[in-house]
């Protein structure tokens, strides 16, 4: 999107205000500048040259979670996410406080650097997870950089030994494979999602699906794009296009909905025929499993418990695929499945937002946790690693660590009979 495309995109907004009640930052502050309509007007003013990129202006855009609830509610189809990403690439970083830039920069380096992906499942990765968990982050550096918050959000499984290495082909069980799917691993699998990754492969293999995890894939680039680093995001896109290009399946599944949303948006963020074709192959794993016929003889073990299903904004507002997880979980005998109401706002995790805007992130999390706890769950499932981490830390803070936070794929895989 160039400057004139940006002006044209902001012109689509008819200022009706229908998006306002859907915007978490507007609902919390009641400030028009903290609303989608207000932010579009500010960006429009900047794009036309009527306003400069003053810190006050960029701060309001920086406060946006990019949850895209406004986009889902907008009758004029204003491409809000693309407008904000474009603005942040050109002007956004100037208004961001130095501490926030440092925190999100460190998070991007740690999570998306090649070293962590290469360490997936190794004893070194486990030792790093244990060290982070043991950090006393309640004061000084730990508190200032949100280390305590991050440490509290790590899953217990990140410190247990796991099967090493996922790259390659995992054949369907019983040699009855009728389909092959490509699996996007994401940069957080090593630290946050090892059990989800193993569960996704095991479940699909049992459903007679061969799973290929292509070598050379990398971080989707979402954290970079939303922080205004378009160049870094497009480098990652190029590596992913190359990694998945020659693989002979027309479906690329992702279990992390934030990654799936970014991969699905490659064609719009960086227009090219290759990026568009790649985007068309992306499926959230829930959508893929709901579209796939399950073997008639497949049995799942009973689980007499209550599970609360949280739908991340990326799943609900971008992929529009939030109906599948509850339906799939209802296959588990005796499991009571409670989905959070559709109008539940963003939990505040939003990539690196939880580190950069801790007060707003914790306020939003409190609202979501109230709704979750009202369902009296034994398990909380969500399909985005950032949301899982943020909500797990919030439950711990309230002394509710007995509620296990996992991906719903894991619950299904645990219910498979041997």
The binding track of 48-67 with respect to ligand SF4, each residue x by CB under 6 A or -, is ----------------xxxx
Does 76 help bind ligand SF4 (rule: CB under 6 A)?
Answer: yes
Q: Does 37 bind ligand SF4 (CB under 6 A)?
A: yes
Q: Which is nearer to ligand SF4, 87 or 379 (CB)?
A: 87
Of 27 and 238, the one with the shorter C-beta distance to ligand SF4 is 27
Number of residues lying near ligand SF4 (CB under 6 A):
26
Tell me the CB-side half-sphere exposure of residue 191, using CA atoms within 13 A.
25
Nearest to 337 by CA among 297, 310, 370: 310
Q: Name the burial class of residue 402, with classes exposed (0-12), middle (13-18) and buried (19+) by CB atoms within 10 angstroms of its CB.
A: exposed
- Residue 19 binding ligand SF4, by CB under 6 A: yes
222 binds ligand SF4 (CB under 6 A): no
Minimum CB–partner distance for residue 84 and ligand SF4 (Å): 7
Q: What is the C-alpha to C-alpha distance for residues 357 and 343, in angstroms, rounded to an integer?
A: 22
Q: What is the DSSP string of 12-61?
A: T-----TTGGG-HHHHHH--GGGSHHHHHHHHHHHHHTSS---HHHHHHH
Q: Does 74 bind ligand SF4 (CB under 6 A)?
A: yes
Q: Report the alpha-carbon distance of residue 25 to residue 57 in Å, rounded.
A: 15
Distance CA 387, CA 199 (A): 19
Residues 6+ positions from 147 with CB-CB distance below 8 Å: 132, 135, 137, 141
Q: How many CA atoms lie within 13 A of 67 on its CB side?
A: 32
Take residue 309 and report the two structure tokens written for it. Answer: 């299903």
Binding flag, residue 18, ligand SF4 (CB under 6 A): yes
Query: Under the criterion CB under 6 A, does residue 325 sit at the interface with ligand SF4?
Result: no
Whichever of 69 and 253 has its CB closer to ligand SF4, that residue is 69
Q: Which of 36, 230, 267, 394 binds ligand SF4 (CB under 6 A)?
A: 36
| Residue 128 burial (CB count, 10 A) | 18
State which residue, 49 or 77, has the beta carbon closest to ligand SF4: 77
Residue 66: CB minimum distance to ligand SF4, A: 5
Told to check if 68 binds ligand SF4 by CB under 6 A, we report yes
As a whole number of angstroms, the distance between CA 235 and CA 222 comes to: 12
Q: Does 25 engage in binding with ligand SF4 (CB under 6 A)?
A: yes
* 15 binding ligand SF4? (CB under 6 A): yes
Task: Select from 39, 206, 224, 357 the one that contacts ligand SF4 (CB under 6 A).
Answer: 39
Assess 78 for contact with ligand SF4 (CB under 6 A): yes
Interacting stretch for ligand SF4, rule CB under 6 A, among 19-27, 153-161, 322-330, 384-392?
A: 19-27
Contact between 8 and ligand SF4 per CB under 6 A: no
Tell me the window of 18-26, 200-208, 242-250, 334-342 that interacts with ligand SF4 (CB under 6 A). Answer: 18-26
Nearest alpha-carbon partner for 83 in 238, 269, 253, 259: 269
Write out the residues near ligand SF4 by the rule CB under 6 A.
13-19, 22-25, 36-37, 39-40, 64-70, 74, 76, 78, 80
């Amino acid at each position: 999107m160039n400057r004139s495309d940006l002006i044209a995109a902001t012109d689509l907004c008819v200022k009706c205000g229908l998006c306002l009640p859907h915007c978490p930052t507007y609902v919390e502050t009641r400030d028009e500048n903290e609303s989608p309509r207000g932010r579009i007007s500010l960006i429009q003013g900047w794009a036309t040259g009527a306003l400069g990129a003053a810190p006050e202006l960029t701060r309001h855009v920086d406060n946006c979670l990019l949850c895209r609830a406004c986009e889902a509610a907008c009758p004029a189809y204003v491409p809000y996410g693309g407008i904000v990403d474009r603005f942040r690439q050109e002007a956004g970083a100037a208004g961001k406080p130095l501490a926030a830039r440092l925190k999100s920069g460190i998070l991007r380096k740690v999570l998306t650097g090649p070293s962590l992906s290469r360490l997936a499942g190794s004893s070194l990765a486990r030792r790093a997870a244990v060290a982070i968990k043991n950090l006393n982050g309640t004061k000084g550096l730990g508190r200032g950089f949100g280390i305590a918050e991050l440490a509290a959000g790590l899953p217990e499984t990140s410190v247990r030994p796991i099967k090493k290495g996922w790259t390659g082909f995992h054949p369907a069980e019983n040699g009855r494979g009728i389909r092959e799917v490509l699996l996007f691993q994401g940069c957080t699998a090593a630290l946050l999602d090892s059990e989800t990754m193993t569960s996704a492969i095991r479940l699909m293999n049992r459903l007679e699906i061969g799973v290929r995890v292509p070598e050379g894939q990398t971080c989707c680039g979402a954290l970079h794009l939303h922080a205004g680093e378009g160049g870094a995001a497009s480098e990652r896109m190029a590596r992913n296009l190359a990694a998945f290009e020659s693989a002979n399946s027309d479906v690329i599944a992702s279990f992390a909905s934030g990654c799936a949303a970014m991969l699905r948006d490659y064609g719009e963020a960086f227009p090219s025929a290759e990026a568009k074709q790649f985007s068309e192959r992306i499926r959230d794993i829930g959508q893929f499993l709901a579209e796939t016929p399950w073997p008639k003889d497949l049995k799942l073990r009973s689980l007499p418990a209550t599970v609360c299903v949280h739908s991340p904004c990326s799943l609900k507002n971008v992929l529009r695929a939030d109906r599948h997880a509850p339906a799939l979980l209802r296959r588990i005998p005796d499991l009571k499945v409670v989905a959070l109401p559709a109008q539940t706002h963003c939990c505040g995790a939003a990539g690196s937002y939880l580190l950069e805007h801790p007060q707003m992130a914790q306020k939003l999390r409190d609202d979501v946790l109230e709704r979750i706890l009202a369902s009296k769950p034994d398990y909380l499932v969500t399909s985005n690693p950032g949301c899982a981490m943020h909500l797990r830390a919030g439950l711990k803070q309230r002394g509710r660590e007995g509620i296990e936070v996992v991906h719903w794929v894991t619950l299904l895989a645990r219910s498979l009979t041997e």
